[in-house]
């Protein structure tokens, strides 16, 4: 079988739209054996293999949850155990006692994540789509413009100056959103995605019908590219949710500290104590900032769980791509 | 000039599309690049702000770069950085593509979903927490691994002072954290492949293996090339947490865990020299840049469609 | 490609110019503040976890400060762990502010870089009263290139390392602590504890003590001996003392007196967990009292050395005036007031009387819950200790004892000498890496010094330690000639 070149791909894809429309009909049909299906034996092997991998990946998280329910005394005496001697809810009681800060931080994180993701998805897909089109005369220049920033960054201090002294964003919610809203890495991924999955011929026919480029973008490209867009959205969401460094730099106001930054602050404070034992021993107020081990793990749990649980939401769009080929969910 | 104006007009839709992104890139990426001149300066603070500081600092030529090359250790860390990154790129690519294909082939889609969610988990865990996990396995006294070795009557290993195991541990941990993220990029791409190709291949009597080889992989090729080119650009950089926090900054392991980023971090601790740290960053970027241009050039010679620019 | 780069460069530069024009405009307009009768707002950055009641307390502070010197204060705290990075970025970026907390090598480096204003002249004018209350040893000790770059906090000016023992165990086994003079003397006690107290780690991990005055810190191989030859900078790792001390430590390690992972452990050995027998730390007058209080069981300390004034101990806490301050004189006035006015100093430190603390007839105070919860400020970073109110359970002569302690201390050989590392920066970067590789393992006894000390010294030599030693000696000699 010959290798599939870009041209062939283009021709074939022109029929995709039709296939897509047809898929709804197919979906309603009775279940038939997928031509692509694996033999049961191979499928079992793969299932087990991936199962091991998945377990290795999720095990630490289960472990964290267990530790968060372990009594502090048990941790001190026996270390982290997979089945602890004494269970305890103390860690979560402790977190409840700082609920005001926690809820506020949750609010900040959620707002930043949602607004940030929407902004970055739009900026990235627009940019990536434009530089993927052969009609765009300056596409190579703009590709390079984005790519160059992957390698050469301005450095911490100059960036800090731009944000604080030029844009005056210090201690505002925008300081948490704007610095992360573009990412050349995602632009390049999206560009590749568009190059591969959006063919000129669909666009040609639309253009002949007199549709404007913007309308084409929203009515044809956007739905067609959902798997790619969902990936970028997922990555942006992860990026915003996990970000603590921008908060470290730009936020002094405790009301604007996101969840991850709260967690990192605790880690950083611990590190400070370790390195400055003598100061710490005299200044007891430092120690009051340090929760116990189990509470720290409980923080990890509450900082990770919501975003992990929302992952299936993105997955829906990957799967919707699958249905094009008539494979059932 | 007139032609230029006409070109701008003709491309106005596209230009409009790249406008927001371009503004962002100029402000957040290009504007701060001004600071890179510090690599050639001895930074002194001026009361009139950073610009005045940069302008009025004394030029020192290449002396900020010297420490990156002047000792034997400096070469060891350069070697470490390169070798680890090459391994990470190759193994990471294989693992991510492999996992993505397996996930896409899995018949039970609900299970596939669960698996995807799980393998993405490590991505959420910072290396600080990650180093705790590694510690629970490797701790000499209480570690799980030494327990297991005990069952087989093998002597306990002092993991944090035996450097020979660490190349494997580091590669394993890097995979553990990165494979989920990588495989999802590829998975999204696989999902977007037109099913008719496979149907055509089926009619031709292609086996599963042939389908993967002749349809899936060629379709993923552009993405693989692009991501590899981008990774090559960062071949002199490394994940600081992986090399600093996971080995618990253990001196006995430096010969295999010290990379450029950790070397610079430790080396400048007593100096706090912003010029020298800028120099290190510029050096890493510059080498990466050259390598990317070379790779891209080669790719373009072989297969123009896949080249980045 | 070339053309594109040129275009790019031009773009960056042109935007850069616009930006610099912007920022310079900023500074000129703000300068007028505080000169036309309007109270000047002093921006003050200090270390510590931000507190809920800061605004409340500073409303009071501002009432008072406005009346006294026609200024207001905006204090911002930056959390302990964030401090190092954030303060450094703020300083390097040339952000305008007035007062910043600093200490140790950070202070010296930033002073050398020009981040702080020299305050010598102001100390004779606006800060006259201040100069009268601050221990002259402190002001002398923090001079960089002959100039004072900040207001040191009046507190203990000397360091005294001590071995601290768990008193319950000392009493239980009738140990005679008066015999403890050196690391070797601990042996018989450690042995007993190891045998009879399985739940106790005999040695809470510490790095073995060497009697040297360090140019950078105890990891780096550049030091002057406290005793004997006080004129020459040497590599302390080449001394016989280092070998014998680390050998003792190694024998302790092998005997299991230390945790097995001592060299890499991240354990911080909090006082309130009673799982140790002896530890090492820096003391101050009545430290045992303070420690016993936080531990909730008794501890007792034995000094390892006589109190000695070193660079690190005098620069433990300094309030520097930023070079970017718009009104240094007003700022100096405020620092003077803060360090000399008991009302203001206690207000900033303890909060509002009746809200955060209460005072009894004898003038002693007691924290109220509001202070612990909402205004838990670190004391050492805020200013003069000797005008602070005493707590109910504080000994009456606490601050007198501090003064005695400071006076009893001897000055270390390099007190006031600050090495300019510019000529040997590359060597230092490599040497720091090597020191970090070997020091923790050697000083905790985790490795055999017979093997590893020679290895360390060879590596140091290869990385150019001799060149650095020579450069330090040169600067040290020059500095000494100006001191006499």
- pLDDT (tens digit per residue) in A184-232: 999 998 998 888 777 777 788 888 888 888 888 888 888 888 888 888 9
Q: How many domains does chain B have?
A: 1
Distance from CA of A188 to the nearest CA of B (A): 8
Q: What is the pLDDT of residue A16?
A: 37
Q: Mean pLDDT highest for which of B49-58, B178-187, C16-25?
A: B178-187
Q: What is the pLDDT of residue A275?
A: 78
What integer is the mean pLDDT of C74-90?
92
DSSP, collapsed to helix, strand or coil, labels residue B141 as coil
| pLDDT above 70: residue C182 | yes
Q: Give the chain A residue whose CA is nearest to the CA of C50.
A: A254
% of residues, chain B, pLDDT over 70? 100
| pLDDT digit string, tens, across residues C87-138 | 999 999 999 999 999 998 899 999 999 999 999 999 998 899 999 999 988 9
What integer is the mean pLDDT of A21-47?
58
Domain annotation covers residue B15: no
Q: What is the pLDDT of residue A320?
A: 60
Distance from CA of A221 to the nearest CA of B (A): 13
| pLDDT above 80: residue A59 | yes
Q: Which two tokens stand for residue B179?
A: 């494979």
Flag if A196 and B192 touch (Cβ within 8 Å). Answer: yes
Model confidence band, residue A305 (pLDDT cutoffs 50, 70, 90):
confident
Which residue of B36, B37, B51, B163 to mutate against C (max C Cβ within 10 Å)? B51
What integer is the mean pLDDT of B261-268?
91
Contacts of residue A265, defined as CB under 8 A and 6 or more positions apart, other chains included, come to: A257, C79, C81, C82
* Pair C431, C322: CB distance under 8 Å: no
Q: Report chain C's mean pLDDT, rounded to a whole number.
A: 89
Domain annotation covers residue C62: yes
Task: Using an 8 Å CB-CB cutoff, list chain C residues near A285.
Answer: 48-49, 376-378
Residue C209 DSSP class: P
| pLDDT above 90: residue B209 | no
Closest CA to B291 of B233, B226, B237: B233
Flag if A270 and C268 touch (Cβ within 8 Å). Answer: yes
Q: Which two tokens stand for residue C37?
A: 């009768």
Residue C102 host element (H or E): strand C99-102
* Pair C98, C42: CB distance under 8 Å: yes
What integer is the mean pLDDT of A287-306?
78
A92-325 placed in CATH 1.20.1290.10: no
Flag if C94 and B49 touch (Cβ within 8 Å). Answer: yes
Model confidence band, residue A4 (pLDDT cutoffs 50, 70, 90):
very low
Model confidence band, residue B141 (pLDDT cutoffs 50, 70, 90):
confident
Flag if C372 and A288 touch (Cβ within 8 Å). Answer: yes
| pLDDT above 60: residue C366 | yes
Q: Is A65 left (phi over 0), alpha (psi -120 to 50) or beta?
A: alpha
* Pair B259, B80: CB distance under 8 Å: yes
Q: What is the pLDDT of residue A319?
A: 64
| pLDDT digit string, tens, across residues B42-51 | 988 888 888 8
DSSP-assigned letters across all residues of A48-84: HHHHHHHHHHHHHHHHHHHHHTB-HHHHHHH-S-SS-
Range of the domain at B261: 71-306
| Among the partner residues C15, C115, C459, nearest to B26 by beta-carbon distance | C15
Q: What is the pLDDT of residue A288?
A: 64
**Helix A311-322 vs helix B166-191: angle between axes, to the nearest 10 degrees?**
50
Contacts of residue B183, defined as CB under 8 A and 6 or more positions apart, other chains included, come to: B95, B96, B97, B99, B100, B103, B119
| pLDDT above 70: residue C21 | no
Flag if B194 and A324 touch (Cβ within 8 Å). Answer: yes
DSSP, collapsed to helix, strand or coil, labels residue C309 as strand
pTM for the full predicted model:
0.86
Q: Give the chain C residue whose CA is nearest to the CA of B52.
A: C20
| pLDDT above 90: residue C243 | yes
Q: Tokens 């993967």 identify what position? A: B212
Q: Which two tokens stand for residue C310?
A: 């070193």
* Pair C404, C471: CB distance under 8 Å: no
| Among the partner residues A12, A131, A238, nearest to B18 by beta-carbon distance | A131
Flag if B208 and A140 touch (Cβ within 8 Å). Answer: no
A38 touches chain B (CB under 8 A): yes
Q: How many domains does chain C have?
A: 1
Model confidence band, residue C431 (pLDDT cutoffs 50, 70, 90):
very high
What does the alpha-carbon distance between residue C141 and residue C146 come to, in Å, rounded to a whole number?
A: 10
Q: What is the pLDDT of residue C261?
A: 86
- Range of lowest pLDDT (A26-30, B230-234, B302-306): A26-30
pLDDT: which is higher, C416 or C44? C44
| pLDDT digit string, tens, across residues A238-269 | 899 989 899 999 998 889 999 989 888 888 88
| pLDDT digit string, tens, across residues A105-132 | 999 999 999 999 999 999 999 999 999 9
Task: With a threshold of 0.95, tell me whether the complex ipTM lies above it.
Answer: no
| Cα angle C189-C195-C200, degrees, rounded to a multiple of 5 | 80
What integer is the mean pLDDT of C345-357?
94
Closest CA to A131 of A215, A186, A185, A192: A192
Distance from CA of A289 to the nearest CA of C (A): 7
C262 touches chain B (CB under 8 A): no
Q: Report chain A's mean pLDDT, rounded to a whole number.
A: 79
Distance from CA of B47 to the nearest CA of C (A): 5
Flag if B47 and C266 touch (Cβ within 8 Å). Answer: no
Q: What is the pLDDT of residue C188?
A: 93
| pLDDT above 70: residue A7 | no
Q: In CATH, what number is assigned to the domain containing residue C120?
A: 3.40.190.10
Q: What is the pLDDT of residue A265?
A: 86
Tell me phi and psi for residue C40, to 5 degrees.
Answer: -80, 130
Task: Using an 8 Å CB-CB cutoff, list chain C residues near B62.
Answer: none
Which chains neighbour B (Cβ–Cβ under 8 Å, 3 or more pairs)? A, C
Q: Which two tokens stand for residue A248?
A: 């470290």
**Which of C:409-448 have CB within 8 Å of B?**
421-422, 425-430, 432-434, 436-441, 446-447
Range of the domain at C139: 36-156+312-404
| pLDDT above 60: residue C214 | yes
Residue C322 DSSP class: B
Domain annotation covers residue B139: yes
Q: In CATH, what number is assigned to the domain containing residue B113?
A: 1.10.3720.10
Distance from CA of A278 to the nearest CA of C (A): 6
Model confidence band, residue A285 (pLDDT cutoffs 50, 70, 90):
low
| Among the partner residues C93, C430, C438, nearest to B267 by beta-carbon distance | C430
Q: Give the chain B residue whose CA is nearest to the CA of C261.
A: B140
Q: What is the pLDDT of residue B253?
A: 93
Q: What is the pLDDT of residue B216?
A: 92
Q: How far is CA C387 from CA C133, C398, C403, C408, in A?
A: 10, 11, 12, 21
Which residue of A75, A160, A281, A296 to mutate against C (max C Cβ within 10 Å)? A281
Model confidence band, residue A99 (pLDDT cutoffs 50, 70, 90):
confident
Q: Tokens 């960062």 identify what position? A: B234
Helix, strand, coil % in chain A, rounded to nearest 5: 75, 0, 25
Q: Tokens 């044809």 identify what position? A: A220
Q: What is the pLDDT of residue A321?
A: 54
pLDDT: which is higher, A289 or C65? C65
Domain annotation covers residue B29: no
| pLDDT above 50: residue C247 | yes
């Amino acid at each position: 079988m010959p290798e599939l070149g870009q041209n062939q791909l283009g021709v074939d894809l022109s029929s995709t739209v039709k296939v897509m429309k047809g898929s709804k009909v197919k979906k309603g049909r009775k279940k038939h054996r997928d031509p692509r299906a694996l033999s049961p034996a191979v499928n079992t092997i793969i299932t087990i293999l991936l199962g091991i991998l998945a377990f290795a990946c999720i095990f630490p998280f289960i472990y964290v949850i267990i530790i968060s329910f372990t009594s502090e005394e048990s941790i001190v005496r026996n270390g982290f155990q997979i089945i602890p001697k004494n269970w305890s809810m103390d860690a979560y009681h402790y977190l409840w006692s700082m609920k005001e800060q926690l809820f506020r931080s949750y609010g900040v994180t959620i707002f930043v994540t949602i607004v940030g993701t929407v902004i970055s998805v739009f900026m990235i897909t627009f940019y990536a789509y434009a530089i993927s089109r052969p009609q765009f005369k300056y596409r190579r220049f703009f590709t390079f413009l984005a790519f160059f920033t992957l390698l050469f960054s301005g450095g911490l201090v100059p960036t800090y100056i731009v944000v604080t002294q030029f844009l005056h964003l210090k201690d505002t919610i925008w300081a948490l959103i704007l610095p992360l809203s573009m990412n050349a890495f995602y632009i390049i991924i999206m560009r590749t995605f568009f190059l591969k999955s959006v063919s000129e011929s669909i666009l040609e026919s639309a253009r002949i019908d007199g549709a404007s480029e913007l309308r084409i973008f929203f009515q044809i490209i956007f739905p067609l590219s959902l798997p790619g867009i969902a990936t970028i959205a997922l990555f942006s969401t992860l990026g915003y949710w996990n970000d603590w460094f921008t908060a470290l730099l730009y936020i002094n106001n405790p009301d604007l500290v996101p969840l991850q930054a709260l967690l990192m602050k605790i880690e950083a404070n611990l590190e400070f104590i370790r390195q400055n034992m003598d100061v710490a021993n005299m200044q007891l107020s430092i120690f009051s900032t340090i929760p116990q081990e189990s509470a720290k793990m409980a923080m990890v749990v509450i900082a990770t769980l919501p975003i992990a649980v929302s992952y299936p939401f993105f997955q829906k769009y990957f799967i919707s791509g699958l249905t094009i080929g008539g494979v059932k969910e | 000039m007139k032609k230029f104006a006409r070109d701008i007009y003709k491309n106005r839709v596209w230009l409009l599309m790249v406008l927001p992104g371009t503004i962002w890139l100029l402000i957040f990426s290009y504007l701060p690049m001004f600071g890179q001149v510090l690599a050639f300066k001895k930074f002194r603070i001026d009361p009139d702000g950073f610009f005045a500081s940069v302008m009025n600092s004394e030029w020192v030529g290449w002396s900020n770069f010297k420490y990156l090359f002047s000792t034997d250790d400096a070469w060891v860390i350069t070697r470490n950085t390169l070798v680890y990154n090459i391994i990470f790129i190759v193994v990471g690519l294989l693992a991510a593509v492999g996992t993505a294909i397996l996930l896409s082939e899995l018949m039970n889609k609900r299970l596939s979903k669960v698996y995807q969610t799980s393998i993405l988990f490590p991505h959420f865990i910072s290396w600080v927490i990650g180093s705790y996990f590694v510690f629970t396995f490797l701790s000499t006294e209480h570690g799980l691994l030494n327990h297991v070795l005990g069952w087989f009557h093998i002597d306990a290993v002092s993991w944090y002072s035996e450097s020979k195991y660490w190349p494997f541990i580091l590669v394993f941990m890097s995979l553990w954290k990165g494979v989920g993220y990588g495989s999802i990029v590829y998975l999204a791409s696989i999902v977007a492949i037109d099913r008719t190709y496979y149907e055509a291949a089926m009619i031709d009597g292609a086996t599963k293996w042939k389908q993967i080889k002749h349809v899936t992989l060629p379709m993923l090729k552009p993405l693989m090339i692009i991501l590899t080119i981008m990774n090559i650009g960062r071949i002199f950089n490394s994940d600081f947490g992986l090399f600093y926090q996971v080995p618990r900054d253990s001196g006995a392991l430096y010969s295999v865990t010290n990379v450029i980023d950790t070397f610079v971090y430790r080396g400048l601790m007593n100096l706090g020299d912003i010029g020298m740290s800028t120099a290190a960053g510029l050096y890493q970027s510059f080498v990466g840049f050259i390598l990317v241009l070379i790779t891209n050039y080669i790719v373009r010679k072989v297969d123009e469609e896949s080249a980045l620019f | 490609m070339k053309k594109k780069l040129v275009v790019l460069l031009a773009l960056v530069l042109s935007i850069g110019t616009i930006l610099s024009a912007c920022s310079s405009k900023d500074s000129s307009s703000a300068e007028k503040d505080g000169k036309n009768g309007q109270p000047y707002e002093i921006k003050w950055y200090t270390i510590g976890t931000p507190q809920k009641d800061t605004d409340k307390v500073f409303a009071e502070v501002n009432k008072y400060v406005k009346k006294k010197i026609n200024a207001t204060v905006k204090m911002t705290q930056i959390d302990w762990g964030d401090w190092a990075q954030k303060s450094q970025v703020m300083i390097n970026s040339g952000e305008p502010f007035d007062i910043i907390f600093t200490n140790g090598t950070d202070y010296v480096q930033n002073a050398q870089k020009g981040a702080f204003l020299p305050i010598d002249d102001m100390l004779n004018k606006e800060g006259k009263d201040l100069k009268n209350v601050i221990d002259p040893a402190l002001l002398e000790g923090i001079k960089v290139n002959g100039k004072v770059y900040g207001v040191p906090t009046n507190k203990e000016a000397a360091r005294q390392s001590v071995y601290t023992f768990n008193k319950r165990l000392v009493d239980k086994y009738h140990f005679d602590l008066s015999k403890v003079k050196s690391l070797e003397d601990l042996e018989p006690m450690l042995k007993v504890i190891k045998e009879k107290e399985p739940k106790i780690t005999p040695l809470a991990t510490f790095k073995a003590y060497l009697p040297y005055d360090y140019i950078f810190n105890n990891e780096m191989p550049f030091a002057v001996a406290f005793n004997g030859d006080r004129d020459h900078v040497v590599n302390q790792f080449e001394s016989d003392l280092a070998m014998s001390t680390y050998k003792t430590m190694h024998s302790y390690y092998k005997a299991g007196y230390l945790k097995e992972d001592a060299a890499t452990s991240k354990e911080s050995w909090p006082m309130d967990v009673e799982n140790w027998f002896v530890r090492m730390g820096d003391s101050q007058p009545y430290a045992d009292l303070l420690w016993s209080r936080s531990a909730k069981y008794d501890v007792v300390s034995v000094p390892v050395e006589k109190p000695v004034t070193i660079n690190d101990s005098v620069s433990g806490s300094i309030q520097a005036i930023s070079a970017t301050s718009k009104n240094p004189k007003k700022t100096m006035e405020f620092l003077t007031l803060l360090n000399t006015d008991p009302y203001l100093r206690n207000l900033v430190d303890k909060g509002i009387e009746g809200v955060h603390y209460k005072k009894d007839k004898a003038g002693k105070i007691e924290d109220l819950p509001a202070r612990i919860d909402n205004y838990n400020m670190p004391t050492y970073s805020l200013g003069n200790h000797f005008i602070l109110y005493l707590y109910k359970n504080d000994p009456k002569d606490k601050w007198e004892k501090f003064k005695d302690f400071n006076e009893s201390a001897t000055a270390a050989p390099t007190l006031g000498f600050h090495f300019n590392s510019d000529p040997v920066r590359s060597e230092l970067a490599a040497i720091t890496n090597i020191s970090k590789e070997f020091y923790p393992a050697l000083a905790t006894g985790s490795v055999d010094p017979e093997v590893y000390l020679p290895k360390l010294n060879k590596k140091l030599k290869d990385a150019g330690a001799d060149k650095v030693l020579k450069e330090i000696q040169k600067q040290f000699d020059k500095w000494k000639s100006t001191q006499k």
